[in-house]
A and B are shown apart, each in its own frame.
Chain A
């Protein structure tokens, strides 16, 4: 078995090469504070993963493969953008003018797009396989820190549904404001609760009675506050009312304690980033040889 010193004999050379070589390293050198901060995020993530040395050594060549694949993908992408530069401008102008792309141009562009998608296919598949190999090297505990694709899909769908519902209920509530300001004193106390309940139901159609009551209570308080404003106060507050309403209907929640360290998309970008390999090599000497108890 080699000693640690011997095992890492080539690491400084590797790091030096990374720093000297272009263009990958152009993205890796902490040339300014923003880049240094991005590098810090990488260091933190790698530390948070609590990799052991054996894992890092096994993963490093895979990250190298991914970095290579990313360079190749960047080259293909660049060629695609350059190849289609003129046609896409024509397409954009045509779309602004309401003119369809001529058939021959559409055919040419379609062929260029298909060719590019096909050329990316094997690269993407190979990268996917390598990313899976990296994933396979992680322990169960480490995997829980990364959101799976399936979980990400569910989360994104949930977030968008909630946003759609929030926007719909906000539209409803904002359309109530002129009524809130102008309703007569006899009508207002009885009807405001009905309107508030409608808004609560719009944002939480499946909410239980307690949740709906809580939300409509908050809406009533909001309506009352808006009604109490003087004309001057109301006009001054108008630009901020949508934000205030958002906090009433959808207050920001603290990040849950079990929130993943990275989403699936962030994980893929993380392992494809050549700087991750660079940082991994840098921290390799200080990684533990065993999992901490």
Chain B
């Protein structure tokens, strides 16, 4: 009786499952492509976050990219070897499966044993390759970036599970809000800078406005050397914004604001335990995720391409 119920229920489940999923999409291939793209973007986000939190420069990204691409090539070579060994063990796998399902002892299966030994070795080989790559990555990171990782490790209990995609937004809410707030301040500053038509007045007011904005964004006193250095970078952003022609304003001004947010972020990163920015944590486990992630080489290329504009400070003119 129980088996009959089980059979009927399972049959109902299996028939109902695909029906309950959704109405058949107009273009199944398109839907599958959207699904894959979405899954990849969700998987990319924590890795991009690591790049962002580390404040990786374009130069560093360019140096990291070949290291991580080589690691992925090593992974692929290991996978290819394993796939060949698995194929060679096909007959053994089938025979062992049959025997065990029939309640007989597993037969002697040399090819299967060889494959399983290779599998164990491959795990070790991958770990070793990651270790070697991480050592190289380490030499590319700055002292501050390594210090951030060390501090994050100390602040994070080991073995924490990673948040599921749907919790990613929440996990970084405070950081996102801070970023949005600073972005708004910078946009206002850029608009004010572009709005000032009198060059002399601009030259007089811009440094003071930028110093105020730098102090406001960092929560530090204007007399601090770091705030003054940041203010100079912000003035550079304003100068660049004033030189934009009307056709490129819409796109470039947002990029400049993002670059100014990055400048604020970098300033705060160099001054631990200060400022208004929520604490940034990049643990060594996060770095290892970046090193291992299949799409990291691709993301690093995008990072270089999409990275905000660089704030170029005008050389100081004597007597000005």
Contact = CB atoms under 8 A, between A and B. Distances in A.
In this complex, the member of A25, A72, A88, A282 whose beta carbon has the largest number of chain B beta carbons within 10 angstroms is A88
Contacts of B28: none
A33 B169 contact: no
Q: Give the size range of A's interface with the partner.
A: 35 or more
A225 interface: no
Contacts of B22: 75, 78-79
Contacts of A40: 93, 96-97, 100
Interface residues of B, number: 78
B176 to A, nearest CB: 6
Interface in A1-50: 7-11, 13-14, 17-18, 21-25, 30, 33-34, 36-37, 39-40, 43-44, 47
Contacts of B169: 106, 109-110, 113
Contact of A97 (B18, B131, B138, B255): B255
Contact of B131 (A64, A72, A157, A242): A242
B63 to A, nearest CB: 16
A98 B96 contact: no
Interface string A106-118: 1001100110110
B39 interface: yes
Given A61-B2, A99-B254, A167 B97 contact: no
A228 interface: no
Contacts of B3: 7-11, 14
B101 A283 contact: yes
Given A14-B10, A81-B38, A88-B38, A44 B100 contact: yes
A262 interface: no
B131 to A, nearest CB: 5
Given A33-B93, A75-B20, A85-B37, A98 B6 contact: no
B13 interface: yes
Contacts of B176: 100-101, 106
A82 interface: yes
Contact of B11 (A21, A101, A240): A21
Secondary structure dominating the interface of A? helix
Contacts of A174: 135
Contacts of B14: 17-18, 21-22, 24-25
A61 B4 CA distance: 11
Contacts of A21: 11, 14-15
Contact of A98 (B45, B262, B285, B302): B262
A164 B284 contact: yes
B315 interface: no
Given A113-B167, A170-B135, A242-B135, A10 B7 contact: yes
Interface in B8-46: 9-11, 13-15, 17-18, 20-22, 31, 34-35, 37-39, 41-42, 44-45
A24 B16 CA distance: 11
B86 A34 contact: yes
Secondary structure dominating the interface of B? helix
Interface string B278-290: 0000001100000
Contact of B41 (A92, A98, A103, A239): A92
B101 A282 contact: yes
Interface stretch (B188-196, B231-239, B303-311): B303-311
A107 to B, nearest CB: 10
A164 B153 contact: yes
A80 interface: yes
A160 B6 contact: no
11 contacts: A36-B93, A40-B100, A68-B13, A98-B259, A106-B180, A156-B158, A159-B158, A161-B159, A167-B284, A174-B135, A243-B132
Interface of A: 7-11, 13-14, 17-18, 21-25, 30, 33-34, 36-37, 39-40, 43-44, 47, 57, 60-61, 64, 67-68, 71-72, 75, 78-82, 84-85, 88-89, 91-93, 95-101, 103, 106, 109-110, 113-114, 116-117, 120, 153, 155-161, 163-164, 167-168, 170-171, 174, 239-240, 242-243, 246, 252, 277, 279, 282-283, 286-287
